[in-house]
Amino acid sequence: MVLGCVIHGQGDLRVEELPEPEPGPGRAVVAVRYGGICGSDLHYHRHGGVGDFRLREPMLLGHEVVGTVVAYGDGATGPALGTPVAVHPATPCGVCPECADGRANVCRDTRYLGSAARFPHVQGGFASRIAVPAVQLRALPEGLEPRRAALAEPLSVALHAVRRAGDLAGRDVLVTGAGPIGCLTVAAARAAGAASITVTDLLPRALEFAAAAGATACVRADDPDDPNWPSDEVDVAIEASGVAAGLDTCLRRVRRGGAVVQLGMLPPGQSPFAGNLLVAREIDLRGAFRFHAEFDDALRLLAAEPSFDALISAVRPVREAAEAFGQAADRSQSCKVLLDFA
Ligand SMILES: [Zn+2]
Ligand SMILES: [Zn+2]
């Protein structure tokens, strides 16, 4: 029996029986073991959409999945049957100007697991068996357990944001927002050799996760007198909270000529921010969206760093998906919550 987590509309998440997936030409069937619940999954559940993408039909959620490859369709090749794999969630078109320019993460015709960015929506990976293009499979590196490997997708997002920020070696970095993406951005900045990494959040528990990820200073975002604010301006600020106030903090705390990377997805529509700071301080404001080649880097980094396990705060069976979603949304307690499809 194939069980999946399907979002039917705002607040309407159902665990339901799905048809057995057929591999089909060029495709592989993966027996999914773990699926990480992402902020975007939570948004589809809570708001019926994420960013400017709205749900228009039922959609299998999930794009952070690991499992075992169990079948290939005609013409499909990849890791041997039975191999533990992570699924790269993106299938860029390969021919648009962005793909040709080496920026497949912003491909104008990409297919991304569990995303309502296009219609019909691309069905996701939160099911005990899924069929995906075989080219999306990546064998797990030696020594990487599937549980930790479930962090590969959000860590790739963080690695891409760090790449967009430029060379961080010896730099002072600020990260606003200590959700799973913020914490993984801290870890990615640390791996990139940042001299200091200050992270802000409203919630003490979130800041504890950020400290476990390698933050050198943790600050209450709503307390301007917190003694842990950096005394000097930072070289680079990465906005990972997805609220305009976070972007404002980044613009005010980065040095003249520094870089601000907007990684968090802001609310739909327009966002107010202190635009004149961009001008008067010649700040480079850049967006960071998804990732592409970073997925392989993420798997290698996860294999080398057992400390990432501290960011997985709960693992729950798929039948408890509603509770798991509630838990993942409660940032006063949780960092990354995984669904177990075994
Ligand atoms: Zn994600
Ligand atoms: Zn493309």
Give 155-181 as a DSSP string. Answer: HHHHHHHHHHH---TT-EEEEE--SHH
Residuewise pLDDT in 10s, the chain (342 residues): 999 999 999 999 999 999 999 999 999 999 999 999 999 999 999 999 987 889 999 999 999 999 999 999 999 999 999 999 999 999 999 999 999 999 999 999 999 999 999 999 999 999 999 999 999 999 999 999 999 999 999 999 999 999 999 999 999 999 999 999 999 999 999 999 999 999 999 999 999 999 999 999 999 999 999 999 999 999 999 999 999 999 999 999 999 999 999 999 998 889 998 999 999 999 999 999 999 999 999 999 999 999 999 999 999 999 999 999 999 999 999 999 999 999
Whether the model clears a pTM of 0.95, i.e. scores above it, the answer is yes
Range of the domain at 227: 158-287
334 and 216 share one domain = no
Q: Is residue 292 part of a domain?
A: no
Q: What is the number of the ligand closest to the CA of 89?
A: 1
228 and 335 share one domain = no
Q: Is residue 38 part of a domain?
A: yes
What is the rounded distance in angstroms from the CA atom of residue 211 to the CA atom of residue 207? 6
How many angstroms does the Cα of residue 201 sit away from the middle of ligand 2? 36
H helix intervals, the chain: 39-47, 97-100, 146-149, 152-165, 180-191, 204-213, 244-253, 275-280, 294-304, 321-329
261 and 309 share one domain = no
217 and 163 share one domain = yes
265 and 328 share one domain = no
91 and 170 share one domain = no
18 and 99 share one domain = yes
How many angstroms does the Cα of residue 292 sit away from the middle of ligand 2? 12
Pairing of strands 336-340, 27-36: antiparallel
> Can you point out the beta strands (E) in 51-102?
53-54, 59-60, 65-72, 84-87, 90-91
How many angstroms does the Cα of residue 65 sit away from the middle of ligand 2? 23
Alpha-carbon distances of 6 from 3, 18, 48, 62, 97, rounded to whole Å: 10, 10, 12, 9, 34
Q: Is-contact 140 299, C-beta < 8 A?
A: yes
198 and 121 share one domain = no
How many angstroms does the Cα of residue 117 sit away from the middle of ligand 2? 14
164 and 279 share one domain = yes
Q: How many domains does the chain have?
A: 2
- List the structure tokens of 199: 């992270």
Alpha carbons within 13 angstroms on the beta-carbon side of residue 275 total 3
Q: What is the number of the ligand closest to the CA of 110?
A: 2
Q: Is residue 293 part of a domain?
A: no
